[in-house]
Amino acid sequence: MEITTRPIIEDESVAFREAIMIGFGEDLDDEEFPPEWFADLVPLDRTVAAFEGNQIVGTLAGFPFDVTVPGGVQIPMAGTTIVTVAATHRRRGLLTAMMRDHLDDGRSRGEPLVGLWASESLIYGRFGFGVATEREEIEMDQTRISVEGDAGLVRLTTPEEAGKVFPALYDEERVKRPGMLSRAEKRWKREVFFDPSARRRGLSAQRYLVHETEGRADGYAIYRQKPNWEAGFANGEVRIREIIATTSAAHTGLWRFLTTIDLFPQVKRWNLPVDDPLRLKVPDHRRIIRKRWDALHLRILDVVQALEARTYAADGTLRFAVDDPFIPEAGGEFELTVADGVGLCHRIDRSGIDLTMDTVDLASLYLGGGDAEAMAMAGRMTGSEESVRNLNRMFRGDVAPWCEEVF
Q: Of 208, 312, 326, 407, which residue is the catalytic one?
A: 407
In this structure, which amino acid lies at residue 278? L
- Number of helices (H), then strands (E), belonging to the chain: the values are 11, 21
- Picking from 330, 294, 247, 312, the residue whose alpha carbon sits closest to that of residue 406 is 294
Is 193 an active-site residue?
no
288 with 127: CB under 8 angstroms? Answer: no
381 with 361: CB under 8 angstroms? Answer: yes
Q: In which element (H, E) is residue 165 found?
A: helix 159-174
Q: Of 65, 124, 220, 395, which residue is the catalytic one?
A: 124
Edge-to-edge strand ranges of the sheet holding 237-245: 153-157, 207-213, 216-226, 237-245, 266-272, 134-141, 289-294
321 with 347: CB under 8 angstroms? Answer: no
DSSP helix/strand/coil, 405: coil
Is 16 an active-site residue?
no
In this structure, which amino acid lies at residue 83? V
Dist CA 127 CA 305 (whole Å): 19
322 with 345: CB under 8 angstroms? Answer: no
Strand partners, 293: 135
Strand partners, 208: 157, 222
Strand partners, 369: none
Which residues are known to be catalytic?
Answer: 124, 407
